[in-house]
């Protein structure tokens, strides 16, 4: 089985750690910084990202990655967005104004509530290890090698709100607030958490992605 994967570098991602994690899992990684260097026929593609949604979309457009990702999404080959890379898969975000996303998935990116269900404030950004909870079946997805309540690492202030039933794959509980942790639709996957920083659980997510 070919374990080739293309990683899109658009200047705001955590590419080095993602690259190392994928290589640790046996992947042959090609990192590209502009669409002309990428192959839409690549076996699989990863879009990492940290920082602000609007900045990410601006860089994707400047490098021609927005059109590339949309074309790749129409194939049956696996695509994975990580953190902001997952958020831009949605239609829009309210982070620092209204910003349009790639529209691959229906829904919006909204601020993580600043208080828990008890009305008390909690830390924003949402940082730390949380236990993954199933929302939809994990069999056959990137979470197939993960057990419910295994812990993964988050650092973010905004989270996706899928509007289509069945897209939300997993969530975590933040003081009683459900936070979307992973999504899946057809060949499209997204992780709000950082698999490259989530120890063996995160590596198992990447291993399964490489096997899809």
* Residue 1 scores a pLDDT above 70: no
Contact 45, 8 (CB under 8 A): yes
Q: What is the mean pLDDT of residues 47-56?
A: 93
With residue 60 as reference, give the H or E element that holds it.
Answer: helix 53-62
| Token duo for residue 167 | 């897209």
Q: How far apart are CA 121 and CA 211, in angstroms?
A: 41
For all residues of the chain together, what is the average pLDDT?
A: 96
pLDDT in tens, 4-17: 999 999 988 778 89
Q: How far apart are CA 52 and CA 85, in angstroms?
A: 10
- CATH number 3.40.50.880 is the correct assignment for the domain at 4-211: yes
pTM (predicted TM-score): 0.97
What pLDDT was estimated at residue 78?
Answer: 98
pLDDT in tens, 53-100: 999 999 999 999 999 999 999 999 999 999 999 999 999 999 999 999
Q: How far apart are CA 31 and CA 5, in angstroms?
A: 9
* Residue 161 scores a pLDDT above 70: yes
What pLDDT was estimated at residue 83?
Answer: 97
Catalytic residues: 83, 194, 196
Q: Which position has the token pair 């953190």? A: 83
Closest by CA to 17, choosing from 65, 68, 82, is: 82
């Amino acid at each position: 089985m070919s374990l080739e994967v293309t990683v899109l570098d658009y200047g705001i991602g955590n590419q080095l750690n993602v690259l190392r994690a994928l290589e640790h899992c046996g992947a042959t990684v090609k990192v590209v910084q502009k669409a002309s260097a990428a192959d839409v026929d690549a076996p699989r593609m990863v879009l990492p990202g940290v920082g602000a949604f609007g900045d990410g979309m601006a860089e994707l457009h400047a490098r021609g990655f927005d059109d590339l990702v949309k074309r790749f999404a129409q194939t049956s080959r696996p695509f994975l967005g990580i953190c902001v890379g997952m958020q831009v898969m949605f239609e829009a975000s309210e982070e620092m104004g209204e910003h349009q996303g790639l529209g691959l998935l229906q829904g919006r990116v909204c601020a993580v509530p600043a208080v828990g269900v008890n009305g008390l404030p909690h830390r924003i950004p949402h940082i730390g290890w949380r236990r993954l909870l199933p929302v939809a079946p994990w069999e056959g997805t990137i979470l197939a090698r993960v057990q419910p309540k295994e812990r993964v690492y988050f650092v973010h202030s905004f989270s996706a709100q899928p509007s289509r039933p069945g897209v939300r794959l997993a969530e975590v509980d933040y003081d009683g607030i459900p936070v979307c942790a992973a999504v899946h639709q057809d060949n499209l996957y997204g992780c709000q958490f950082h698999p490259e920083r989530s120890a063996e659980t995160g590596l198992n997510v990447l291993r399964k992605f490489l096997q899809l």
